[in-house]
Chain A
Amino acid sequence: MAINWGFNIARPRAVDMDANDLSITRRIMAQMPEFQACIACGSCTATCTAGNLTSFNFRRVHTLVRRGEYEGAYEEMGKCMLCGKCRLSCPRGINTRGLVMLIKRELEDK
C-alpha cells in the first residue's frame, strides 16, 4: 500500500456509499455487535496514548471503516499501543482494544 500522507488530491472527496464495498464492515460488525453502538463522542481519541504522540485518530479510522473506507486503516491501527485507556473511557462500553485487533485482522490481506 502506498504511503498514507493523510490526504490525497486524486481521491474523490465524497464517501461514495454506492461504490464502497461494505462486506468487511459487515463482518466486523457481526463479530462485535456493540461497535454499532458508537455515538462518536471522541473519548477514545481524546484519551488515546498513541494519539497523544501522533496523528492517529482511532475514532476517525474506525468510522471510516464503518463507511467502507479501508485504505490506510490497517497501517493507522498499527499505531495503537493497545494500552486500553480508550476502553476505560468509552461511555458505550465498546471493547475498543478488541476492535483494533479485529479491524487489523480483517484488513490484514487488503
Chain B
Amino acid sequence: MSKKVIIVGGGAAGMKCASTLRTQGVEVLLVERDRTLGGKLNGWHKLFPTLTPAGEVLDALKREVAASGAEVMTGTEVERIAANGVTVNGGRELKADAVVVCSGFDLFDARIKEEYGYGIYDNVYTTVDIERMLNEGRVALADGSAPRRIAFLHCVGSRDEKVGQRHCSRVCCITGVKQAMEMKELFPQAEVYNFYMDIRMFGPGYEEMYREAQQKYNVNFIRGRISEASPTFDGRLQIKAEDTLVGRPLKMSVDMLVLIVGMRPGCSNGRFACTEGVNLAPNGFVSPLNPFAGNVRSGAASIFYAGTVTAPKNIGESMNEGVAAAMSVVEYLNAR
C-alpha cells in the first residue's frame, strides 16, 4: 500500500517537496492557504542575482507539480498539525503517514516602524510594493511623475529589537541592491541611495551584483540607518540618518523612500508549536532538530520542515530543502 504525505504550504519549498516525493512513488496532498500555489514567489518580478523573471521559476514549479500527479488543495488553511496528519479549517482531519511543514514566513509590516511613515505619507513604499509595481509595469510617484531621488532603507524589521525582530532576514540586502539597480534602469537620471547598517552578500553572485550596482549603476551606499522620515513643504520626504563613516548627521530630501522589509516568523508557527516535537526558536521561527544533519527534521519522527518556516532563506535554498525534506520523508517511510 502506498504511503501518504501531507505538505503544509504550497510555496517554493512545498511545491518542490511535493514533486520530489511523487518521483519516489509517495502519495502527496499539498495544502495551500491561498487560492493559488506559489506563495511569496507570486509577488516577485525578477529574482536576484540573475534577474530571472520570477514567473519562469514559478511556472516550472507549477508544471512539475501538475505533472507529478500530486493532489493539490488550495484555499485551505491548516489549523493544527499532528504526527499522523493535519486538521484544516472547519475542523476536518486529514490523515497521513508524514507531514512536511513548508508554511514559510510572513512579511514584516512596515507600518509598525511608524517613524518611517509607511501608510502615512505618499511615496513611502516597501520592497514588496516595488515588485508589484514592476509587475504592473508602472513605477511612479503618487502623482504619476518620475522620481529624481530615491532612498532605500535596509533592515526594516530585521535586526531590530524594538520590533521583536532580532534576526537577520538575509535576503533583503540583495533585494535592495537588485531593486536599486532596477530603479536606475527605469530612471537613469535618478539618484539612488541605499542606507545600510551592514551589507550581507551571502549568496553566489551577490557580491558581484553589489559591485555592479556601485560601479555600473552608480548606486550610492551610505552607512547609516535612517531614524525618521517626515514630509517637506514641497511634498517630498526628508529623511534623517547619520553618515557614520563621515561621523556627521545627514539629512536628505527624496522623492521616494523604499523600505526593505524583512521576514518575520509565520503567523501559524505558534499554532503548530502546540504539537509534540514542534518547537519554536527564541526568534519565533520553528526550530529544526539540529542545524546540521537534522535541519529538515522535527522532534517528532513523522514531521518534517522545509523552507523559511525554520529561518529566512532564498528561493534556491528553500527549493533545495524541499528536496532534502522529501528524501528524509522517504527514508523515514521506508524504515517503518
Question: Looking at the complex, which one of A41, A59, A60, A88 makes contact with B162 (CB distance below 8 Å)?
Answer: A88
> Are B155 and A91 within 8 A (Cβ)?
yes
B149-175 with Cβ < 8 A to chain A: 155, 159-162
B91 is an interface residue with CB less than 8 A from chain A: no
Give Cα distance in the complex from A44 to B197, angstroms: 13
* Residues of B in contact, count (CB < 8 Å): 23
Interface 9-mer from B54-62, B235-243, B289-297, B328-336: B235-243
A96 is an interface residue with CB less than 8 A from chain B: no
> Are A91 and B159 within 8 A (Cβ)?
yes
Closest partner residue, chain A, to B240 (CB atom):
A46
* Residues of A in contact, count (CB < 8 Å): 21
Closest partner residue, chain A, to B250 (CB atom):
A46
> Are A90 and B244 within 8 A (Cβ)?
no
B196-243 with Cβ < 8 A to chain A: 197-198, 223-228, 240-243
Question: Looking at the complex, which one of A39, A89, A93 makes contact with B197 (CB distance below 8 Å)?
Answer: A39
In the complex with contacts A39-B197, A39-B198, A91-B225, A45-B159 CB distance below 8 A = no
B249 is an interface residue with CB less than 8 A from chain A: yes
> Are B228 and A91 within 8 A (Cβ)?
no
> Are A90 and B242 within 8 A (Cβ)?
no
A53-83 with Cβ < 8 A to chain B: 57, 59-60
> Are B244 and A42 within 8 A (Cβ)?
yes
Give Cα distance in the complex from A34 to B85, angstroms: 45
In the complex with contacts A42-B242, A57-B242, A93-B161 CB distance below 8 A = yes
B247 is an interface residue with CB less than 8 A from chain A: yes
Closest partner residue, chain A, to B222 (CB atom):
A42
> Are B247 and A48 within 8 A (Cβ)?
no
Chain B residues whose C-beta falls within 8 Å of the C-beta of A91 in the assembled complex:
155, 159-162, 197, 225
Binding site for A on B (CB under 8 A): 115, 155, 159-162, 197-198, 223-228, 240-244, 247-250
Chain A to chain B: the 3 pairs with minimum beta-carbon distance, closest first:
A42-B242, A46-B227, A47-B227
Q: 15 A-B contacts, Cβ less than 8 Å apart? A: A39-B159, A39-B197, A39-B198, A41-B225, A43-B225, A43-B227, A44-B242, A46-B225, A46-B227, A46-B228, A57-B242, A88-B162, A89-B227, A91-B159, A91-B161
Q: A46-B228, A89-B228, A91-B162 are in contact. List 6 more A-B contacts (CB 8 A).
A: A42-B223, A42-B244, A46-B240, A52-B249, A59-B242, A91-B159
